[in-house]
Structures are given as C-alpha cells and as structure tokens.
Amino acid sequence: MSQVVQETHQEFWRPPSPVAADEIVVREAHPTMAETCPRCGTEFLLGSRFCHSCGGRRREAVSAEARADAAAIAGIWQQGVSRVHSLVSGISWSKITFPSWLRYLHFHEIKSWLGLPTASLIAFVVGIGCVAGALLVGLLTAKTYVDWQAIQFYRAEWLLAATASFVAAILLKKPSRD
C-alpha cells in the first residue's frame, strides 16, 4: 500500500512545526477560561460557561496584569466621560441663538403640519429612513455577480421594511371626522 502514494511530505495528523533559523519555535497558548470544573473535575464543553454535569460556573483565567490594564482603561474612560460632562454642562444653552427655520423641525410642529398622531408619525419617519437605507445600499459597489445579487437582496429587504412601516403608519392613523 505504501507504493501507491509516493513522496508524501507530511502526514495529515501531524501539524507542521514552525522552524526559525534551525530552532523549533514553541508558542504557548494562553487560555481565556479554565478547562475543567473546580467542583467535579469534568471538562467543560467547547464554549460553555457552565459545567454540563454539576452546573458549576466556569472560572475565567484572567491574569492580574490584564485586570490591572482593564481597571486603568476604565479609569481613563471615566475621566474622559467626566471631562465631557463638565464641558457640556458649562455651556449656556440659552445664550446660543439658533436659526429661525429650525423651529419647523420640532416634532410637534411636524405632527401638526402632517396631521398625524404620534405613533403614525414615528412609523412614517421609520419608513422614510428605510427608503433612505435602500438608496444608500445602492451606493455599494459590486465586483462580482454574487455581490450584485446580495446588494439587490439588501435593497429589497430595506424596501420591504419601508413598506411594512408605511402600512403601520396608515393603520395607526386615526380616521378624520370630516
């Protein structure tokens, strides 16, 4: 049987070992979670958070350095948030003058102009957003026929969502008394 397959380079069950300057490089794997349950000693299933036999919680094997780094990043984030909050709270919004046409974009102004109730207006705005999404999907460039088909499928999904939203807006509209 060995005569059938000639010049085989590597057996399929042996992984090739990386060689750098005639030395074998050994890379250690750093597991992110423990491999066996501390309560019963059984191995955890792949990707599980709990033991399948006793229900014990899986411990995370995070080093002290990683915890210290996470705490430092959290502290930096908290400092940034507090700085932005103090900056925004220091702005006097009453002194800022806005253009007069901006009052037409208020929600209650649009609601009275269109004559729609709140739920119907929200569904209408979501429908307009979905139509805009369908138009923006058209800006994607397709290099192959399969990509073009996927883009058309996305566009059809956006238009279907817009249709459902417009139908919801029509159904939520209260009938007029006139």
Q: What pLDDT is recorded for position 21?
A: 45
Same-domain status, 107 and 52: no
Cα 96–Cα 110–Cα 117 angle in degrees, nearest 5 = 135
Residue 133 included in any domain: yes
Q: What pLDDT is recorded for position 155?
A: 93
Same-domain status, 58 and 121: no
Q: What pLDDT is recorded for position 22?
A: 47
Q: What pLDDT is recorded for position 156?
A: 94
Same-domain status, 108 and 153: yes
Residue 9 included in any domain: no
Answer yes or no: is pLDDT of 12 > 70: no
Q: Which residue has the higher pLDDT, 117 or 49?
A: 117
Residue 154 included in any domain: yes
Taking the C-alpha atoms of residue 175 and residue 164, their distance in angstroms, rounded to an integer, is 19
What phi, psi does 11 have (nearest 5°)? -75, 145
State pLDDT tens for residues 72-130: 999 999 999 999 999 888 888 788 888 888 888 888 888 888 888 999 999 999 999 99
**Which of 8-22, 34-48, 76-90, 120-134 bottoms out in mean pLDDT, i.e. has the lowest?**
8-22
Enclosing domain of residue 38: 19-64
Same-domain status, 56 and 108: no
Same-domain status, 117 and 56: no
Residue 53 included in any domain: yes
Same-domain status, 109 and 164: yes
Number of domains in the chain: 2
Query: Are residues 172 and 119 in contact, defined by beta-carbon separation less than 8 angstroms?
Result: yes
Residue 70 included in any domain: no
State pLDDT tens for residues 134-162: 999 888 888 898 988 999 999 999 999 99
Residue that finishes a domain, picked among 9, 41, 64: 64
State pLDDT tens for residues 157-176: 999 999 999 999 999 988 77
Query: Exposed/middle/buried for 123, CB within 10 Å: 0-12, 13-18, 19+?
Result: buried
CA distances in angstroms from 166 to 11, 120, 135, 170, listed in the order given: 62, 9, 17, 6
Nearest-10 crossing angle of helices 118-137, 107-114: 100
